[in-house]
Amino acid sequence: MSTIYESRYASNPETVKKYDTQALRNEFLIDNLMQADKINLTYTHYDRYIAGSAVPASAPLTLESIDPLKAPYFLERRELGIINVGGNGTVTVDGTVYELGLKDALYVGMGNKDVVFASKDANNPAKFYLNSAPAHTNYPTKKVSKAEANKLELGSLETANHRTVNQMIIGGIVTTCQLQMGMTELKTGSVWNTMPAHVHDRRMEIYYYLDIPQDQAVCHFMGQPQETRHIWMQNDQAVISPPWSIHSGSGTSNYTFIWGMAGENLDYNDMDVAKITELR
């Protein structure tokens, strides 16, 4: 079978304070992404969010429903966001073919029954990163190339956080029920992302780290602002960020991460900032 999934349950912040390193990793780290000829999915009970990957190397892969959905097809009551981080590929949605190059995105609305992933070159397969959230109505499927993203230049080299935020599946570009996705690229010489850190109790979030050079790593910070924890991460790993947790990271090199979120609202700027000097 080409589809593998697991479920993760929500955690109380008071309980998480007592976790050791392995318990933190077991609860929040997603480390089975980007396996050739597999669709890997993690179903989290934080806002019923799903994060995963599809890598169609030797043959196309079809997105199938999984048992937690109790649905005849995956998107019966869901919407889907896709960003390709590999070679050129296609996503066929109910017979319509969408071509996705490196770091292009695709939003797929609720109610589409057939979603098929394929690669142009088996020696350089597409690597589709997937995020999905519950939906209440159908909105049109839409491709957003990296060039079409809304770009925000943030931070500075002096504070080691000069970065470009590519807003891709977000209001003003794509109409969605609750799903939002984008990609942040750090400039050479910068290593800090999302600093000052923040929480948003109205939404949960997942970070997927990529473009981490071989033998380098990113230290992802999580937890309540006055009770932080960290998880060391490698390339092609993701981390679940609960609504009560900050989500920030620092690498031993510059890198890229894809953020995806869902929850109470679609206000990108709805966040409670934690002052750098008040983090503990």
For all residues of the chain together, what is the average pLDDT?
97
Domain range for 63 is 9-136+143-278
Query: What are the phi and psi torsion angles at 260 (to 5°)?
Result: -140, 145
Query: What are the phi and psi torsion angles at 143 (to 5°)?
Result: -90, 140
Q: What is the mean pLDDT of residues 209-227?
A: 97
Q: Let me know: does 65 contact 71? Beta carbons within 8 Å.
A: yes
Instruction: Assess if residue 189 is contained within a domain.
Output: yes
Instruction: Assess if residue 2 is contained within a domain.
Output: no
Instruction: Assess if residue 3 is contained within a domain.
Output: no
The tens digit of pLDDT for each residue in 88-135 reads 999 999 999 999 999 999 999 999 999 999 999 999 999 999 999 999
The tens digit of pLDDT for each residue in 2-42 reads 899 999 999 999 999 999 999 999 999 999 999 999 999 99
Domain of 88: which CATH number? 2.60.120.10
Quote the number of domains for the chain: 1
The long-range contacts involving 10-16, CB below 8 angstroms and separated by at least 24 positions, are: 10/44, 10/45, 10/46, 10/242, 11/242, 13/223, 13/224, 13/227, 13/242, 13/244, 13/245, 16/223, 16/229
Instruction: Assess if residue 92 is contained within a domain.
Output: yes
Measuring CA to CA, which residue among 92, 3, 103, 95 is closest to residue 53? 3
Q: What is the mean pLDDT of residues 199-214?
A: 96
Q: Let me know: does 168 contact 83? Beta carbons within 8 Å.
A: yes
Measuring CA to CA, which residue among 195, 196, 198, 251 is closest to residue 224? 198
Instruction: Assess if residue 4 is contained within a domain.
Output: no
Instruction: Assess if residue 102 is contained within a domain.
Output: yes
Tell me how far apart the alpha carbons of residues 264 and 81 are, in angstroms, rounded to a whole number: 18
- Is the pTM higher than 0.95? The answer reads yes
Please report where in the chains the tokens 């939404």 appear, as a residue: 203
Question: Residue 187 carries which DSSP code?
Answer: P
Instruction: Assess if residue 171 is contained within a domain.
Output: yes
